Structure 1
Amino acid sequence: MPDKRMKLSDAVASIESGMTIGIGGWGSRRKPMAIVRELLRSDIKDLTVVSLGGPDVGLLVAAGKVRKLIYGFVTLDSIPLDPLFTAARERGGLELQEYDEGMFVTGLRAAANRLSFLPTLAGMGSDVLAANPHLKTIKSPYSDDEYVAVPAITMDVALIHANRSDTAGNIQFLGPDPYFDDLYAMAATRTFVSTEKIVPTENLLDEGSFHTLMLSRMYVTGVIETPKGAHFTTCEPDYGRDELFQKHYVASAKDPAAWDAFNAEFLSGDEDAFQAAVERFHAEREKSHV
């Protein structure tokens, strides 16, 4: 089996401006944040981003990397709204394609199955159709029923974070939910997976049954070992959400001067610098409460 290990910089270097990228995870849960941070450090722009969004969307939008967003929601889970995305939406100038969650997943399933569309009842009779005039309905050839014909959500690249992988790209999710990450991979031309740990293939079942091997190497272009690569979002059972840091992110995002300071402290260096800055952040908070 080929060795698909690579560096963050090499994965992002293969992404071009104007591409459509899908970002796995859900809200502020198991997002490939290390890859997102590497995108922030790049010159890539004019992206179409497909995401059940969280801080991945907020950061990329605020950095001017996104031209169009295809999404079901953007939330931080324990905090309802991402302030960076909210501000961008209020300013305007961002092309938005907002779907009902059921429609969003139907679009992923269509692309994963190499179909141009799939029918669904999700969205019928709602304002989602009025807000997305490109959507069409279709009548069943077998009954009088009518459905929304959701177009396939195809992607040039999918970005995913997982708990474990082997060097060949067999991907293991140990948390409570795969969050449709397998569909992103199957719907994309290429898929890069950041992972908490790369382990020998024979050890993949040490922490979970074969049911946790949700993504085959055939869908994976490259794997990047990035401990805490989903921070500050969850990566259960390896770690939960860093709620203190998420609150700091939200508070900083609401004030331009504070956001400049946040960028300088946490986002101006490479991934090692980010992780070191997070450790200092927590050490300082603990010291101040002693």
Structure 2
Amino acid sequence: MSVTDLDKRLSLAEFAARIESGMTVGIGGWGARRKPMALVRALLRTDVTDLTVVSCGGPDVGLLAAAGRIRKLVAPFVTLDSVPLEPHFRAAREAGALQFEEWDESMFLWGLTAAAHRLPFMPVRGGLGSDIPRRNPRLRTVTSPYEDGEELLAAPALTLDVALVHMNRADVRGNGQSLGPDPYFDDLFTEAAERAYLSCEQVVERFTGPPQSLLVQRQNVTGVLHTPRGAHFTSCAPDYARDEAFQRAYVRAAGEPDAWREFEARFLTGDEAAYQRAVEAHCAREGAAR
């Protein structure tokens, strides 16, 4: 096999063309932290719809919900961190515009783990005694086959058609490095999916840093996309922090239909390069105003 055979680099357009309506799409990151936003924006430029989205949700869920692309959401939360509840998600829930299957974080972790290990479920204590099993009929209990006889919750496998994750560094073969303080569940997302797409701040020939930062393994990755500032407006530590000023503008616009149409026209109608230019212009105006 030649080196070129191992080069998995794709353009955003090539990636987006591979996503089909009706797929189950897992999105890595956590709230408003290290979300593969360039990939989400690329999906918004297509006509894919009827998606089942699995995510520790943030503006990824918000943008897809605002565009009417989500049929069902599986998530423990949808937050912007410094804004407790993502505004587009709240509006979609209030309008009944999507199905919402709520899991707690431990169930979510073990559901991804079950899928990664090709198991039907994993037993977990999380969720027992709460309203989650009562509101989610897909969740069942199991009894330990050993002498303890403990009743446990069965977290079903969160098997994904596609996973989207964003890393600080990657190579062309699909190895991904996380340099931030938390890996979140990104490695599990790639292992739980039939196909995984990894966007990154930099494509490198060699990795430096501790070996435990090499989070994503190439055998689990289908495509690599070089997307500098591709997590914006979420954080991508240590490369950049969350753009709180832009997030405030996003939240303000989300609360008013006319303002949101203006926001979409300004930031979401062009390609990724146009988005980044519009963000730079916005930041320059904000700085001048201060």
1:261 paired residue number: 262
Among 23, 28, 32, the residue aligned to 2:36: 32
Deviation of 1:93 (Å)? 3.3
Q: Does 1:204 align with 2:207?
A: yes
Superposed CA deviations along residues 136-193 of structure 1, whole A, max 9, x for unmatched, are 1000011221000111000000000000001111110000011010000000000000
Taking the aligned partners of 1:47 and 1:134, their CA distance within structure 2 comes to 19
Taking the aligned partners of 1:84 and 1:232, their CA distance within structure 2 comes to 15
Taking the aligned partners of 2:273 and 2:110, their CA distance within structure 1 comes to 38
**Secondary structure at 2:286's aligned position in 1?**
helix
**Secondary structure at 1:223's aligned position in 2?**
strand
Taking the aligned partners of 1:33 and 1:61, their CA distance within structure 2 comes to 14
* Residues matched between the structures, number: 285
1:144 paired residue number: 149
**Secondary structure at 2:259's aligned position in 1?**
helix
Unaligned 5+ segments in structure 1 are none
Among 188, 192, 196, the residue aligned to 2:197: 192
1:52 paired residue number: 56
Superposed CA deviations along residues 205-234 of structure 1, whole A, max 9, x for unmatched, are 1xx211111111000101000000000000
Query: Aligned partner of 1:279: which letter?
Result: E
Among 124, 127, 133, the residue aligned to 1:129: 133
Superposed CA deviations along residues 91-121 of structure 1, whole A, max 9, x for unmatched, are 0031111001111111001001100001000
2:185 paired residue number: 180
Taking the aligned partners of 1:50 and 1:118, their CA distance within structure 2 comes to 17
1:94 paired residue number: 98
Query: Aligned partner of 2:262: which letter?
Result: A
Query: Aligned partner of 1:204: which letter?
Result: F
Q: TM-score, normalised by structure 2?
A: 0.97
Taking the aligned partners of 2:56 and 2:140, their CA distance within structure 1 comes to 22
2:228 paired residue number: 227
**Secondary structure at 1:87's aligned position in 2?**
helix
Query: Aligned partner of 1:66: which letter?
Result: I
Q: What is the root-mean-square deviation in Å for CA atoms of aligned residues?
A: 0.7
Q: Does 1:160 align with 2:165?
A: yes
Superposed CA deviations along residues 25-79 of structure 1, whole A, max 9, x for unmatched, are 0000000000000111101000000000000000001101100000010000011
**Moved segments of 4+, more than 4 Å:** none
